[in-house]
């Protein structure tokens, strides 16, 4: 059996659909997960969200051991978490950084990024559709490695 694609979501993403819909859209995280499950083909998905930095780091470490690819929407931890940066550096699987909005087009504090230097690629600014793009990229990476 092949390893799953991990899709991990950081703080406040549980509020999708209601939090600043003009920036993040109206799709909920559950809507996004349902859509990805339809598109996952033969790839198993592990889809999770947490508001807690340590939990996210534990899941990153788990993905490194049990996953094929990590798709990570770190939310605000992108700009603040050196601990997440260090956990990602220890991750030997491909990492795709994902953001619903384009952080560079927003406030200056969002321009700091502790994830980008480690990620193989980055998808930002396409709203919920970015998750589909990230899944397609992950599937392609798996095929290339297979």
Q: What residues are labeled active site?
A: 24, 99
User: Which residue, 107, 135, 139, is CA-closest to 123?
Assistant: 135
Q: If DSSP states are collapsed to H, E and C, what string results for 58-75?
A: HHHHHHHHHCCEEEEECC
Q: Please state whether beta strands 69-73 and 5-9 pair in parallel, antiparallel, or not at all (unpaired).
A: parallel
Residue 2: CB atoms within 10 Å: 10
User: Which residue, 85, 119, 69, 83, is CA-closest to 99?
Assistant: 119
Q: Is the dihedral of CA 119, 104, 132, 21 positive or negative?
A: positive
Give the C-alpha separation, 101 to 130, whole Å. Answer: 9
């Amino acid at each position: 059996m092949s390893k799953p694609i991990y899709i991990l979501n950081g703080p406040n993403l549980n509020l999708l659909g209601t939090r600043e819909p003009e920036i993040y859209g109206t799709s909920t995280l559950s809507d996004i997960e349902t859509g990805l499950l339809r598109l996952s083909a033969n790839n198993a998905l592990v889809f999770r969200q947490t508001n807690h930095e340590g939990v996210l780091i534990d899941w990153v470490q788990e993905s490194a051991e049990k996953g094929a690819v990590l798709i990570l929407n770190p939310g605000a931890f992108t700009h603040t978490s050196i601990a997440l940066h260090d956990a990602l550096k220890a991750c030997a699987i491909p990492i795709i950084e994902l953001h619903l909005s384009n952080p560079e087009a927003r406030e200056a504090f969002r321009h700091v990024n502790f994830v980008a230097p480690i990620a193989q690629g980055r998808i930002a600014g396409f709203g919920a559709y970015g998750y589909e793009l990230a899944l397609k990229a992950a599937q392609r990476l798996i095929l290339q490695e297979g």
